[in-house]
Amino acid sequence: MTFKLITDSTADLDENWAKDQDVEILGLHITLDGVVYETVGENRLTSDVLLERMKNGSKPTTSQINVGQFEEAFRRHAEAGDAVLYLAFSSVLSGTYQSAVMAREMILEEFPEATIEIVDTLAAAGGEGYLSMLAVEARNQGQSLEETKAMIEDILPRLRTYFLVDDLYHLMRGGRLSKGSAIIGSLVNIKPLLWIEADGKLVPIAKVRGRKKGMREMLQLSSQDLAHSTAIVAYSTDLDGAQALKKSLLEDPAIDQVLIMPLGPVIATHVGPGTLAVFVIGKEVR
């Protein structure tokens, strides 16, 4: 029996692609200048609009997918007899995963025969999107929900996420980094490089003088110990930088495909303009 795939707007998947591949995207919300915006659908807030407002001083905030949203989605699929695999935004970065778990328990009381499986990806942006793409590929190849879930859980600790940001102010403001960690982001021409550890924590790993040097450092880290030949590059406002990273990554014989994805508005809220990110899958957990 086939199954339904659900993920979040934080996976930064193209909505047309998701529709074609039968992936349902649930949206977090963004409050910008006192107005609450959707992050999925025709009237969603785009990253371009958000980042322009941020450059002009706006300080957006994000809110998790609530229990009611999950309850509605899970009930709809339970009533239709659909098995569901939900790939969730990292529980370390959001309460969205916990909301899904609560809603699942409520729906299983009402529909005890329903199948609703939830995976905490401990990932965000292109990393969460990468896992979603692999789940679609597995499903298309005829793998069961259980097989697909096991595959994702095997890969997710080996997913490598590197962010090069202009400064850490936005991460500190959103509570994703401590004020002490963010101090390095205020130093002149210092470009902080961060990564998401296997347990989901976002951690500064280097402070590099100059953007080009930061990109070289990120490339070096990304190209080690690769298990998959696809890499994903994400960006906010710096498409040229993303294309330069793609060109350099393709020079590595271990990489034969690089996908470029703009950072969606939820993640852009927390990392700000001028961010570059690389997502790869390694052979070992580290």
pLDDT tens digits for range 36-55: 999 999 999 999 999 999 98
Q: Are residues 92 and 147 in the same domain?
A: yes
pLDDT tens digits for range 163-201: 998 766 556 654 545 455 445 445 556 778 889 988 888
* Cα dihedral: 11, 12, 14, 15 (round 10): 70
Domain span at 242: 158-281
What number is the average pLDDT over the span 117-145?
A: 97
Tell me how far apart the alpha carbons of residues 275 and 271 are, in angstroms, rounded to a whole number: 7
pLDDT tens digits for range 82-126: 999 999 999 999 999 999 999 999 999 999 999 999 999 999 999
Residues 6 or more apart whose CB falls under 8 angstroms from that of 101 comprise 118
Residue 252 · residue 210 · CB < 8 Å: no
Q: Are residues 10 and 152 in the same domain?
A: yes
pLDDT at 176: 47
Q: Are residues 89 and 133 in the same domain?
A: yes
Residue 151 · residue 138 · CB < 8 Å: yes
What number is the average pLDDT over the span 197-224?
A: 87
Of residues 211 and 144, more confidently modeled: 144
Q: Are residues 15 and 153 in the same domain?
A: yes
pLDDT at 168: 66
pLDDT tens digits for range 11-39: 999 999 999 999 999 999 999 999 999 99
CATH number, residue 11? 3.40.50.10440
Number of domains comprising the chain: 2
8 lies in some domain: yes
Domain termination residue (choose one: 118, 133, 157): 157
What number is the average pLDDT over the span 139-151?
A: 97
72 lies in some domain: yes
- Number of Cβ within a 10 Å radius of residue 91: 16
CATH number, residue 169? 3.30.1180.10
pLDDT tens digits for range 229-270: 999 999 999 999 999 999 999 999 999 999 999 999 999 998
pLDDT at 193: 86
Q: Are residues 51 and 131 in the same domain?
A: yes
- Number of Cβ within a 10 Å radius of residue 38: 15
pLDDT at 172: 61
Taken in order 142, 146, 149, 154, is the CA torsion positive or negative? negative
**Would you list the DSSP string of the chain?**
---EEEEEGGG---HHHHHHTTEEEE--EEEETTEEEESSSTTPPPHHHHHHHHHTT---EEEPPPHHHHHHHHHHHHHHT--EEEEEPPTTT-SHHHHHHHHHHHHHHH-TT--EEEEE----HHHHHHHHHHHHHHHHTT--HHHHHHHHHHHGGGEEEEEE-S-SHHHHHTTSS-HHHHGGGGSTTEEEEEEE-TTS-EEEEEEEESHHHHHHHHHHHHTSSBSSSEEEEEEES-HHHHHHHHHHHTTSTT--EEEEEEPPHHHHHHH-TTEEEEEEEBSS--
Whose structure tokens read 């569901």?
Answer: 84
266 lies in some domain: yes
- Number of Cβ within a 10 Å radius of residue 276: 27
